Amino acid sequence: MSSLEEDLSKAIAELQALERIVSELQNRATALRALLTEYDGAIALLEELKNRKTGLNILIPIGGGNFLRAEIKDVEEVHVSLGAGVMIKKSLQDGYELIKKRRERLSESIKAHEETIVNYAQRMEELRRIVQALSARLAELQKAQKEGK
């Protein structure tokens, strides 16, 4: 294999690897955006509860587009997930602040994913140009070799 063919092979391999990585990053960013929407809903509900200071009638989703009607009676505290099924009881204000901070970190993570995707996309475009140029050069050499024989 000639040096030109090796360079072409390496560029194609790197391009394919970056395509897989970008696809995975896009999937993660999509999942993070869905989680961000959940956090936005939680924040909106907690803001409503902070403003009311009394019970609130709500619909609770039970899956498949189905809901149960419920009343929130105690608006003084919220149970916040710590992960792995562990919950902690917080005052409404403390829970609200914790969820807001998590939302900010989530937003920053999405932004970082998007910046990484842009950087990889730029490298992928550069690699596509390299692959195209190397392919054209290789075709020229092969044509010249055939004509020279």
Dihedral angle sign, alpha carbons of residues 47, 48, 52, 56: negative
Average pLDDT, the chain: 92
3-state class (DSSP) for residue 128? helix
| Between 120 and 147, the higher pLDDT residue | 120
Torsion of CA 83, 87, 90, 94, to 10 degrees: 10
Percent of the chain residues past pLDDT 70, beyond the cut = 98
Cα–Cα distance for residue pair 20/40, rounded to 1 Å: 30
Domains of the chain, CATH where assigned: 3-144 (1.10.287.370)
pTM, entire model: 0.78
Q: In this predicted structure, what is the pLDDT of residue 112?
A: 98
DSSP 56-119: EEEEEEEETTEEEEEEE---SEEEEEEETTEEEEEEHHHHHHHHHHHHHHHHHHHHHHHHHHHH
pLDDT 10s digits, 2-22: 798 999 999 999 999 999 999
* Average of per-residue pLDDT across 21-37: 98
